[in-house]
Structure formats: structure tokens, C-alpha cells
Structure 1
């Protein structure tokens, strides 16, 4: 009874404060603030005086969820809950912020002048080189609102040590969900995104209390939901049709690793899925940050809110996903110093005002660095940049042993492959495995840079480093099929005027998929050809086919499923083109830097 009383009192206080705050007109149009001296001072943690983006989503465990920073965690969740209670007319409300990304059409944010994006259906940029940097001020906006609410609404309710609570609230930064990490391999879908209630570990009176989990769903205002029905949403409360499996984490991890490969060093190719028609088969065309982004939307939400650009931002998980996309973008920028072409870098990133009360929007020039918003990421806090950072990220996102993936999908084979049995008969004395080469490279590069004694031992003990099949002696690895295999495909994203999934199978067993996060076309006849990829390594390995590219076409098939999962005849996708290609990870250049050596010949799978 005491816990129920605490809960009722806490929620009543939050709701009463919400009603009081919305009774007054918000004094000025919201701006996504630049970092001022006070904010940087309050958030000083790293050597550069910037606050880390805190990871509030640790692996799932048998015990109740326990974040490290329980005070910031308590403030963050209460502020998120409060933000969801504000009416859509308040630009600080979750409804108003979510409305920025997609539909309803013709509903501008905070009276920002002009149409709602190019199509008037949403401000977001997709299949566009501005994709990563448009979403940066978007996440900064919701972060700044959370900080404001935590500082001015939630922290003052703590009657003991109020000043310290207010100071702590100013240091909150939005957490990211790293779905390619070692932790994700153990716990692909953190319970904080699915449990209906959460325990606030330190409440306003110092005691714990349980409240509705604000990160699970959001109930759309009636007028907005009326518009969403046409996009196939069957409930006013957001819902998810999927989650994330270990197999999908391994697939994502392989894709993330390629972001930091020097062979893919090109902003246009990195930033978005749009194809460069002048170079249609270059591997870099198929490995973008947007492609990784699209797949997470598909894994979690195909057939539901997260799976459609029109509605995805109404699901709270959207922002944790995009915070990680921003992190990967920041890491890529720090590795390669890449930036949008100057011809588009001054394009206004509407509707994000660069200061309150102004209609001047942020541009890519303004938002090129996270420093402009007063935050950084753990990997960047010590100043590591360039090749040294890329090497470190290669170690962070090491290969995954196909034999070690535990997956409950009944459509994937679960048996010892012929290839693994054949490994014992191969002559490995004259041809070191890629794992051995990677170990030597990492030992040489990292031990030299950091003087770490025993580094080789720690690499070999890493749980998720793949012991890869050995390329037979005297065989050119690139021609042979290499150490990994990918399906590279291009297709018109508007083919069926809704999001869809490109699925690959090996002998009928699910190998992997790529989600096309398609927006509705603006005009009849609109064509936007995009490129993406699917990792086939794991299933080909299980089938004993990884090093037999001459057999791939006989065993690999492709199909396409629509938004709700129904198979669509491939004749409806006249632009679909699929090639299969092997590659050798961690080949070394003359300076002993790793890069991916792609096979020179691609195998035409479809048409």
C-alpha cells in the first residue's frame, strides 16, 4: 500500500505540473540550442570538457534492471513520461516532436514557415546525403527538451538536496542503443523497451516507486491517429511486430564494421542508400549508414509504426535507435573527416531553428560536429581520430563465429556444416587464416600504439572473434569467394509505394534480409533507385558453401515481402538487380592498414 501511495502521489505531481505548465503559452519558438558555457561546464566529464552520451541500456539480466547512474536514470524516465503527457499544441510535447519526422502531412512544427518538407508529408531526409546530419538536430531537440523538463519540472520535486538534483538534470544526455555491440550479442533486445512498468530507483521523496514505462509505446492524439490509419496502423497505441535476434545482431555487426573500412570512404555512399548511376557495381554503393538504419526499422517494426517513415517517430524506441545512428556518423566523421558536398551543405535542415525565436535553421555546416550541441561519445572523448580510431573500431566490432550464433528462428538450419567438418583436412600450414592475420595485425598495431603487454592473449580470448575457415593454399582468396559473402542489390524504393523487405535464402533457409524504408512517392512515375546489402556469410558457412562461389547461384534465392509480410511477385520490381560477391576482410595494404578486398567478379543472381 505504501508503494501504491508513492506511485499515486508522484504521478499526480507530474500530471499537475504538466497541466500548470500548459496553461501558459510557450513564450517563444523552440530552438535547438548551441552549447553554452554553462551547459558545457555542467556536463564536463571528458578531457575535452564534453559530456558523454550515457548508456542507460545495459544487458538484460535475471535481476531487476539496474542502471549504473540511478539518479540520472530516474530523472530521465520521469522527464520522458512528462513529455508524453503534454498536449500536441506544446512544441515540447512528444506528439509535436514526433510529428516532425513524417505524417500527418501539412502539419508544420511550431509554426515553422513553409511546407512540411519537400512533399509536405514530413521534414525527414531519406535516400538523401543529408540523412545523417538532418537527424542530428532532431535528436538534439528531444534531448534539450528532456534536459529542460528534468531541470525545471522533475528535479525541483526532490525536496532534499534540490540544488544537486537540478545540477544533475542539466548533465543528462540522450542514451543510444548499440545493437552491434558485444552486449547486444548477449541481449539483442533490452527489456527496457518492452517491460510495461519500470521502477524509479530514487523518487522525489527518496523512495523507489513503480510507474508506467514511457519507452514502450505512445498513444497518438485522436486527430493524428485519424491520419495514420491510411498508413496501415491498426491501433492508436503504437506497437511493434518484431524485436532483434542474435542472428540479426551478427548481421548488423558485420555491416557496422564495414563503415570504417577505407575502401568505403565516401560521404555520398556512406550517408544514404541512393545509387550513383555512374558506378552501379562499386561495392561501396551498397554499404551505407542508412542501410543499417533501415534494417533496424524493419527488424523491430515491419508491419507496425516503426516500419513506416510516416509513423516511425511516434514509437519511443525510434530516438534511441537514431541516437546510435548519430554516434556511428560521428565515429565515421572522426575516422575519415568526410562531409556533404558544399553544394548541399548550406541546405536548411528544417524545422530545427538554430536559436529560439528565429526561422533560421541549422545546416550541415552548423551541425557537422556534435560539439555544436554540447555532447560527444565515449570513443571520441580522449581525442582519438583517423586511422587509430578506425583500428580501434575494427577491434570493437570483431567478427562473429557463425557456429556460435544461437537463434530460435526455425527457418535457419542448425547443424554442423560440411565446411566445418572439412576444415580438419585442410593444409593450414602454408596459408594463415584470416583470424591469425587479424591477430598479428592487431597485436602489431595496438601493442605498438598503446604498449599493451599480453595483447595477443586478450585478442585470442575475445568471445566473439571469429575463427574463420582457412583459404586453401595457392588459391586467390578474392576469386575463391573470400572470407565473407554479400548479396548486393538495387531496386526502385517506390516500386510498390510502401516499405518492403528483400529476403535471401540458402536452400530455402533464411539467410538474411534488408528493409527498404520507403516513403510514398510524390508523383506518379517517381523513381528512386537505392542500393543495399545482405550478409550471406553465416548461412553459406552453415551450408558448406562459403568458399564455393561457383555453387552460390544454385542455392541462393531472393524474394520480396510487402509491409505486412506477404510475398510479392518479383515482376512488380522491374528495376531489381541482385549480384553476389565475396570479400576478404582484413587484407593489408603496404602500410599494414586493414581493408576489404572485394572479389573482382560478381555473380549475377537476378534477373
Structure 2
């Protein structure tokens, strides 16, 4: 069996836990690690520097970038690190075939839209971290043998090397966008003796090893074509050209634009209450953008980690690889992005250690209360339909990632990075006093951390007290909040909840929300759909498409914007007049990843009614775009306690007078 699989153990060979750090920190402050990382990442991509020529012959097929990236989507073929037996290699779905039934279920492909979105991607990043680390270890030893004066520098740097992240929620992103190390085609590294060398940058793009796979297919974006079948390398925001190129100006503009609202949305993820009666429901909403357990749309409106992650895919990809689930992992940026996603997961599970997917969620009350099992639409070109999903055992396996004993990783094993968890040999650098390599000392430490994280990401809530005087807030005690909680008088949080048909446009697309005042048009935020096209052999996607699956996003309105609208009102506002004033200044657009506007809508009941001949099809318009508000309570005796959102109210639909088709595809 050993020859048929490659175990994912992370950096176990180092025998210790070291931090993943940001790519900027690695480049600026850890030059030996950075050199090893660049050369090793290039090596598994098949780009061999003279310094790595002596070690590349030991790179296993399962650790090449082509094989690792192909796990997430195309090419739809068996991963070299997870060989099936001859009896399991039948390609077509057959319910009698062991390949397609438990305990060896069907193929894999990203685990999106489910509670296992977070857990599946954790061993995936560990795999590429392990592959790079193995090369770095051998390279470091060779460098020290050939340069005795450098003894102790390179081997230790290799031992500490972990896959870096790029923090897309950092404050500087709105002004700076991607750092040069992620977009320039060359990069400078430090060699023994303090020699600087410029080499090809493996973080900028990837050229396919062995040529373009035959099942790669072009994807239409209506403003052009992503020529995946002919592009020999990855691109970002490429013009519609068979030659392809990366439009760096468009890339940077999109990344800066996407950063608007990302921080506020990330802050909301740390405002889940810590006393929910059904922890699995909280984990469901946090983890993914489908929210299987959701019965009442007014239950919680804090958004999901997967939803935020999808915005980054589209903003970096544009008319390029990162925007398509089938091709995204071939862009080397993919793993820096998912390392950052995993970092947020690590912070969240540290703060909410009691919230977990469990074996399902509960519905009903009293005697009618029952457990509903999670289901998972698995697979790429074969799957088990509506398969029950559990966090451990044979129904919790995270294919194709195997352990040393030949079994597959399960979701339970992925939980936590502290020393009592299943070993992963990495952590993250300390953030706001939070060290995820250690368990929280108790509930108070977790609550303090949540408050600190929320304050870091969320803009301050400043209000004109007189203007907000008639905004109603239900008394905290009446809402059932614990003692010592007091609602902030006449203040509410405003969010827009968006529900989008996943396969409306046969590819990834965004809903964009804007505020308009006179000639000013201000981008507020977006909700992303990260979807495969109809021609993709992904059977899970086909099933969701047939069932009309819906992707959910939450866009918070900036406090400053709401305050300005309230304060500028001619009359002392009520909640109803405030909602009306806000809505009439909002507009929405459905936009593909190449930037093409497909349909638009104007907010408010007084907006012009879209004529029937210009209306977008009901198959493509959002299932819901509506305003929700929440009161906010603070604990009067503890300024470090997280604020509590309560008294959620659903208000009007933003676009009652219809969506106008801008492109033929929207009719």
C-alpha cells in the first residue's frame, strides 16, 4: 500500500512547531527562509535554479506542483499521492463500484459550499508546505556543505520554514494592493556570501509541466474569453487573447477595490454570540456560504469565511485562473490566499473553541426536536449524491489527503493548532496577543480576543446622538440578554443580505453594492459566487445546479455612511424613514470576473420600474437583496467584552422595481 499513497504529515520531520508568517515579513526579515522558499517553490513547479539542480531529482511525482494544484479541479485525473487499486479505477459513476461508494467514495475537488470547506483546505495547504519544505531541507544542507562559513544559517532556516500567507485584510491593502513580490516576474534572493541574485519569481505565475492538459477548456466571460485550453501558464486579469498576459493595473485596481468592506466583514465573523444553543448552526454559517442548517433568514447575519474568500479569488483572477475553481490552484497565489484563510480559521476556532460542525444540526422544538445530518455533494467526475457527512470516521474523510497509516484525514483531526490537537507542526505569528499554538486560558481570554479582533477590523461606530434619536432599540433585558448588558441607545447596525443563484451565469460572478449621491458613486462591498461552468465534469456542481443552489453573502454598511445619511435627513428620522433614505441611494450590479456588467438595479420604491422588455431573467437575478438591522449591546462592567448583536429585524427589499439586463446573457 505504501507505494500507492503519499502521506500528508506537514513538517513533521522538523519535530517542532514553527509559525507561518506573512510573505512580506519573510522577504524583509527572514532572508534565508525567503531564499529557500522561492527556490523550493520554483523547484516543485519544475523551474530548476542551478542551486537546486542537485536535489530536484528526489522530488516525488506526488509533490510536484502540477499534481498538487490538480487536486482542486482539473485535470480530472487521479492524484499521484492517492493511487487507487485497479478495481477502483473505473472512470464512470457506478453505484456498484467501490470507487463511488463508502468506504472509498468518489473523487474530490475543493469541498466548497459545505461545513468541510474550512477543514478540507487545511491539509491541502499542509501538503504544499510539506513538498516545499522537503526540497528546502535538502537544499539547505547542500548550501552549508558547499559554503562552510554559512554553517548553522540555512539548515535552521529550512527547519523553521512554513508556507507564508498574504494578509488581504491588512490596512495597507486599500492603498497598496498586492505587494511587488506577488506580481513581479522576477524576485531578488540572498545567496551564501551575501550575494544578491535575481531569479524568476514562482509567486507570480506557473507554467504547466508536461504541457496543457487535454481537458482544459476555454471559459467565456462575455467581455472576452479565458483561453485556458491554450494559455501555457497562469494569468491574472488577462485580456481576451490566445497569447494571454497579466494586466497588472487591472489586477491592482480590483484588489484595492475588493479590500473595501473586507475588514468590516471579517470583524463580523468574531461577533457570533458565545451562548448559542446549537453550536453546529454557528459553525455552518461561519464556515461556508451555503448555510445548510439555515431555516430562518433572520437568524444570524454575520457572513461566512468562505464568502470573504470568494471575493479574493475573483479580484485576483479577473479573466484568469484564480476566478475559476477548476483552474484556481494552478496560480501560485492560491496557496498564499488559503494560508491566510486558514489563519483566520485558526483565530476563530481559538476564540470559539466550543463551536463545531458535530454530526449535524437540530430542527424543531420539544418532542419534535431532531438531529439533521450534514450532507455533502462530493466529487469532480463522480460522486455519492447527498452523502452524509460526519466530522470523523469513514464519513468524515477528506480525500485525497492520507495519513501515514493509509487512512484519510478527517475533519476532527484538522481542528486547532495547539499542542493538544492532532499534530500539524505549524502555527501563526502572534496577532493582537493571540497565540493560536496555545489553548485559550478560559472564556474570558477568548472574549477579550474577540473584542480586540473586532476593534482591529471594524471602523468605530460614531453617531450624531440627536439625529439618531428616534431609532428604536429594544431593551436588552426584554430581549433576554444576560444581566449587565445594555443596548447602545438609538443605534443599530445595518447590513445587506444577498442570496445569489450559484449557477446563474455559468461561471463565477459578483454582486456589487454601491452608494450614489449626485455625481458620486461609492463602492460599498460585494458578495461573490465562486462556481464552475456547465461544461465542467464536476458532478457535485451539476447536482447543485439542478437543485437551484443559493450562495449567501452579508455586506455591512459602513457606520460613517449610515451616520451621514441620518444626520443629513431633513427630519428627525425613524427607523423606517432611515431605511428608505438609505435604500434610495443604493444600486446593485451583477458583474462577471472580467469586469463586465451583466445586470443592474436601482434602490428604493421610487426608482423607475424596469420595463418588461428590459428585465433580467428570473433565473439570474438575486433571490434576495434586503436590508437587515440589529441593535448592539455592551457589557457595562467590562469594556473588553465583545459587543452583542440582538433584536435583528428584516426590512424591505432593496430593489423592488426590478433588475435591468445590461448584457444579452442576463435576459
TM-score range relative to shorter protein: 0.7 to 0.9
Q: Distance in 2 between matches of 1:555 and 1:363?
A: 47
Residues 382, 339 of structure 1: CA spacing in aligned structure 2 closer, same or farther, 3 A cutoff?
closer
Q: Distance in 1 between matches of 2:647 and 2:583?
A: 18
Aligned to 1:92: 63
1:341 aligns with 2:358: yes
Quote how far apart the aligned CAs of 1:197 are.
1.3
1:519 corresponds, among 512, 532, 536, to 532
Q: Distance in 2 between matches of 1:317 and 1:392?
A: 29
Aligned to 1:432: none
Deviations 1:371-406 (A, max 9, x none): 521112223245446442443354345367xxxxxx
1:146 aligns with 2:132: yes
Aligned to 1:313: 329
Aligned residue runs from structure 1 range 416-455, under 5 A: none
> What SS does the aligned partner of 1:511 have?
strand
1:32 corresponds, among 8, 11, 27, to 8
Quote how far apart the aligned CAs of 1:336 are.
1.2
- Alignment RMSD, CA only? 3.3
Unaligned runs of 5+ in 2: 48-55, 92-98, 220-224, 238-250, 277-281, 360-388, 475-488, 534-540, 568-572, 600-615, 657-667
Aligned to 1:550: 580
Aligned to 1:230: 218
Q: Distance in 1 between matches of 2:391 and 2:189?
A: 43
Aligned residue runs from structure 1 range 126-525, under 5 A: 126-158=112-144, 159=146, 160=148, 161-162=150-151, 164-185=153-174, 187-201=176-190, 203-221=191-209, 223-231=211-219, 233-234=226-227, 235-241=231-237, 242-243=251-252, 245-246=255-256, 248-263=258-273, 266-276=282-292, 278-282=294-298, 284=300, 287-337=303-353, 338-342=355-359, 344-346=390-392, 347-355=396-404, 359-370=406-417, 371=421, 372-377=423-428, 378=430, 379=434, 380-381=436-437, 383-384=439-440, 386-398=443-455, 466=460, 468-472=462-466, 474-476=469-471, 482=491, 484-507=493-516, 509-520=522-533, 521-523=541-543, 525=546
Number of equivalenced pairs: 501
Quote how far apart the aligned CAs of 1:469 are.
2.8
More helix by share: 1
Deviations 1:129-149 (A, max 9, x none): 000010000001111111100
Quote how far apart the aligned CAs of 1:70 are.
1.2
> What SS does the aligned partner of 1:229 have?
coil
Q: Distance in 1 between matches of 2:584 and 2:493?
A: 18
1:534 corresponds, among 546, 555, 559, to 555
Residues 210, 223 of structure 1: CA spacing in aligned structure 2 closer, same or farther, 3 A cutoff?
closer
Instruction: Tell me, yes or no, if the aligned pair for 1:469 and 1:483 is still in contact at 8 Å.
Output: no
Quote how far apart the aligned CAs of 1:122 are.
4.7
Deviations 1:347-379 (A, max 9, x none): 110111111xx5411001111123521112223
Aligned to 1:69: 30
Quote how far apart the aligned CAs of 1:154 are.
4.6
Q: Distance in 1 between matches of 2:413 and 2:322?
A: 29
Instruction: Tell me, yes or no, if the aligned pair for 1:492 and 1:528 is still in contact at 8 Å.
Output: yes
Moved over 6 A (4+): 86-89, 115-121
Instruction: Tell me, yes or no, if the aligned pair for 1:103 and 1:227 is still in contact at 8 Å.
Output: yes
1:54 corresponds, among 21, 34, 54, to 21
Residues 305, 245 of structure 1: CA spacing in aligned structure 2 closer, same or farther, 3 A cutoff?
closer
Aligned to 1:565: 595
* TM-score normalised per structure 1: 0.74
Deviations 1:1-36 (A, max 9, x none): xxxxxxxxxxxxxxxxxxxxxxxxx97732111665
Residues 75, 223 of structure 1: CA spacing in aligned structure 2 closer, same or farther, 3 A cutoff?
closer
> What SS does the aligned partner of 1:502 have?
strand
Instruction: Tell me, yes or no, if the aligned pair for 1:259 and 1:289 is still in contact at 8 Å.
Output: yes
